[in-house]
Structure 1
Amino acid sequence: MINRTTILGQYKGTFQQPDIFGYYGHFGGAYIPEMLHPNVEELKEQYLKIMYDEGFQTAFRDLLKDYVGRPSPLYHAKRLSEKHNSTIFLKREDLNHTGAHKINNTIGQILLARRLGKHRIIAETGAGQHGVATATVCALMNMQCLVYMGEKDIERQAPNVARMKMLGATVVPATSGSKTLKDATNEAIRDWINNPVDTHYIIGSVVGPHPYPDMVARFQSIISEEIRWQLKEKTGSELPDYVIACVGGGSNAAGTFYHYLEEFSVKLVAVEAAGHGVKTGMSAATTQLGKPGVLHGSKSLVMQTEDGQVVEPHSISAGLDYPGIGPLHAHLYETGRGIFLSATDKEALDAAFELTRLEGIIPALESAHAIAGLNQLKLTPKDTVVICLSGRGDKDMATYMKVMEG
């Protein structure tokens, strides 16, 4: 791996956009079976034309405003700020329709699928928020919806499974491997291979073959687009000192970082799931444990054995329980543009209860990892920090209740 302290100064590209082959530096591309080539090529040729068509943008922005409820608030967390001796704002993606940032991307992709003439939608989900968001937009657009979800995640995210079924989606359990997000993604890709003509795969994160990492990042970039003008209204400056987000695959982080990627005075902080501890064998801290490899259609950092077998990850958070990371984030890590931290299960739980009791906001376990990152930064009273609160904690109440019951 290239030395991260030197490569940033040498890097001449744009962090926002991959090259024409879908690479961010050394990471990205499209490593796909031949049967998927027509689907991926169609997307690659059409996605930018469709996304920036005036009619598409009007429909997309109208739905974000009137259906999703955007802009989401940028909330000054006064008591949390006092605790950490700085000025902290929370970007309240938890207040979106369906309770997380995932809806931004599914709205965009369902409109794209309709433009491409697709009428059957598949998706993968870990924490269930992407599954709910996909089922929601399929109900809205009257499209068939299948959501693949690990058997283990179905058990620990029962409220979201019920929501998907109520919305009319078929939830298909993935029973192989660790029975979590990786395995659900494998099953969704198999489905897409078998149904290449009428099906669009709504990938929920900045992973998968090009153009998915770029496409999802662009749809989620509404987060940082809003942060810039909201922060200027509140502080007089668009630029915070730190922007923090949790990272599994990394869609909320990509959206939160997007309009700050070229603003080098802004420190981009990604917090991964350390599980029981980075070195315990029960972790999902990909940048600390991974090495270059191919997973789910793109080259990135992947947790793997010496002979290239994927290592099963662990996190208390179903949405961060993934053995890889999006190629944009691998590039941010390699170049040193991003600061990558990790939080253990216990640190995330402690942060969740801290936020709840200081601000009256119950975060998703994924978002709690981002809150936990505050303890690892040397903040000063002059620092302005924006944290993406990517989702609400309703889906994690069973886990929280177990902690409270001791």
Structure 2
Amino acid sequence: MTALANDSSNTYGLHDSILPSLDGLYGEYGGKIEHPELAKAMEEIETGFRAIIKDDDFVNEMSRLRQTYIGRPSPIFHAKRLSAHCGGAQIYFKREDLNHTGAHKINHCIGEVLLAKKLGKTKVIAETGAGQHGVALATAAALMGMECEIHMGVVDIEKEHPNVSRMKILGANIVPVSRGAGTLKEAVDSAFEAYLSDLDNSMFAIGSALGPAPYPEIVSYFQSVVGREARTQFLETTGTLPNKVVACVGGGSNAIGLFSGFLGDTEVEKVGVEPAGEGLDTPNHAATMTLGTKGAIHGFKCYVLLDKDGEPAPVHSIASGLDYPGVGPQHSLLKDNNLATYESVTDAECLDAFMALSRLEGIIPALETAHAIAYAMRVAKDMSPDETILVNLSGRGDKDIDFVLDKVDLSK
């Protein structure tokens, strides 16, 4: 694979293993969209991205906003009570839930909106599942005086109503999507259609490290700040690197952000955790990397869950942000090259981890994040007390509280 523009990981911010070729490919995954009008729009975005990341004014503005608006760097926290509860390895968290808007999504949304302004656009359009990307994009758009249009499945609108309210307060126009399953995949379809109808004035601001080129690269570039910070902080805190770094995976943005800081460290195991839903032996899961096959979705190649007709399958997860039948192309390549492993967690395990972290550490995590926490809890007991696990605590669970209250017995 040829690294784009021969940028090294030291100057560009991304490890060579997750840089695309000139064709937007990561090995055999990813790629550029073939639709003529969208292809022209993608080229405009890619050219703009190439320019701004080398522009001192942009770099300085991103640095200023990360520090004074997002609240970076987010801290590393040693979860001592959770670690003692599990037995074995010590569990640490990278506290992305403490960012402004409550998740990692703000990291790339600030960059995407700055890019849209640089391109002379007046509106950003996006999809959202759990609503965290929608809230972050609406926040960045309000900050920079731009219109914001968010497409969201009707199932997720009902489930994640606190985030819907936040988006409305921030001035975003919410477009309910009722077609199909009414979840994240359909929201992506709807958002792309809206973008295609207004290419001159708008920019599609994708919510994860997936889609056609250049989106996987753009999102992973802005999310790589998580991994760079985490590696430095963990060394300063413990004097060594973690044995495992763990993150939930739907599309894969928070995971690629964390992994990017450790891809040069072969001794550190990188683990992505996806939704087993109601069980891998049922059709009600979204375990793309575990049970998917090589295919295409939304204009790019990746591992994808397909139905009997070869179309992207309906999927299920208790976490709306993980409810997607595809995955980012960088993760697909990392899997094939054995540079990361991918595990799965059921809905029931997710809820148990959600409550455990809330009760033991006073941290209410997002249901998406709780998948990664559940995996860490599962494996910690079989590791020694001098081993460590670093989990990307990618988002807080305010949005999920009402949903969880209907699912758990708080008296236990």
Q: TM-score range by the shorter chain?
A: over 0.9
**Whole-Å Cα distance in 2 between the matches of residues 136 and 109 of structure 1?**
12
**Whole-Å Cα distance in 2 between the matches of residues 308 and 48 of structure 1?**
36
CA offset digits 1:10-38 (Å, max 9, x no partner): xxx93131111111111110134111111
Could you tell me which residue of structure 1 aligns to residue 62 of structure 2?
A: 60
User: Which secondary structure state, in structure 1, belongs to the residue aligned with residue 371 of structure 2?
Assistant: helix
Could you tell me which residue of structure 2 aligns to residue 302 of structure 1?
A: 304
**Whole-Å Cα distance in 1 between the matches of residues 90 and 16 of structure 2?**
30
**What one-letter code is carried by the residue in structure 2 that aligns with 1:266?**
V
**What one-letter code is carried by the residue in structure 1 that aligns with 2:345?**
A
Deviation at 1:307, TM superposition (A): 3.0
Contact 2:243-2:268 at 8 Å conserved across structures: yes
Could you tell me which residue of structure 1 aligns to residue 194 of structure 2?
A: 191
Could you tell me which residue of structure 1 aligns to residue 101 of structure 2?
A: 98
Which structure 2 residue ranges, 5 or more long, are not aligned? 1-14
**Whole-Å Cα distance in 2 between the matches of residues 206 and 105 of structure 1?**
10
Contact 2:33-2:39 at 8 Å conserved across structures: no
Could you tell me which residue of structure 2 aligns to residue 365 of structure 1?
A: 367
Select the residue among 386, 402, 407 that pairs with 1:403.
Answer: 407
**Whole-Å Cα distance in 2 between the matches of residues 107 and 241 of structure 1?**
32
Alignment of 1:263-302 (within 5 A): 263-302=265-304
C-alpha RMSD of the superposition: 1.3
Contact 1:84-1:374 at 8 Å conserved across structures: no
Deviation at 1:405, TM superposition (A): 4.6
**Whole-Å Cα distance in 2 between the matches of residues 84 and 350 of structure 1?**
16
Contact 1:136-1:167 at 8 Å conserved across structures: yes
Deviation at 1:154, TM superposition (A): 0.2
Contact 2:230-2:261 at 8 Å conserved across structures: no
Contact 2:31-2:300 at 8 Å conserved across structures: yes
**What one-letter code is carried by the residue in structure 2 that aligns with 1:398?**
D
User: Which secondary structure state, in structure 1, belongs to the residue aligned with residue 406 of structure 2?
Assistant: helix
Aligned length, in residue pairs: 393
Identity %: 48
Select the residue among 117, 131, 155 that pairs with 2:120.
Answer: 117
Segments ≥4 residues shifted beyond 3 Å: none
Contact 2:272-2:343 at 8 Å conserved across structures: yes
**Whole-Å Cα distance in 1 between the matches of residues 18 and 68 of structure 2?**
28
User: Which secondary structure state, in structure 2, belongs to the residue aligned with residue 353 of structure 1?
Assistant: helix
Deviation at 1:257, TM superposition (A): 0.5
User: Which secondary structure state, in structure 2, belongs to the residue aligned with residue 106 of structure 1?
Assistant: helix
User: Which secondary structure state, in structure 2, belongs to the residue aligned with residue 90 of structure 1?
Assistant: strand
**What one-letter code is carried by the residue in structure 2 that aligns with 1:174?**
V
Contact 1:106-1:202 at 8 Å conserved across structures: yes
Deviation at 1:44, TM superposition (A): 2.1
Deviation at 1:166, TM superposition (A): 0.5
Contact 1:16-1:261 at 8 Å conserved across structures: no
Select the residue among 135, 154, 176 that pairs with 1:173.
Answer: 176
Deviation at 1:45, TM superposition (A): 2.3
**Whole-Å Cα distance in 2 between the matches of residues 375 and 231 of structure 1?**
19
Contact 2:376-2:389 at 8 Å conserved across structures: no
Could you tell me which residue of structure 2 aligns to residue 344 of structure 1?
A: 346
**What one-letter code is carried by the residue in structure 2 that aligns with 1:114?**
K
Q: 301-310 or 129-138, which moves further after superposition? A: 301-310
**Whole-Å Cα distance in 2 between the matches of residues 404 and 344 of structure 1?**
15
Contact 1:32-1:209 at 8 Å conserved across structures: no
**Whole-Å Cα distance in 2 between the matches of residues 330 and 403 of structure 1?**
33
**What one-letter code is carried by the residue in structure 2 that aligns with 1:175?**
S
Could you tell me which residue of structure 1 aligns to residue 137 of structure 2?
A: 134
Select the residue among 35, 50, 54 that pairs with 1:48.
Answer: 50
CA offset digits 1:86-145 (Å, max 9, x no partner): 122100111111110000010011111111111111010000000000110111111111
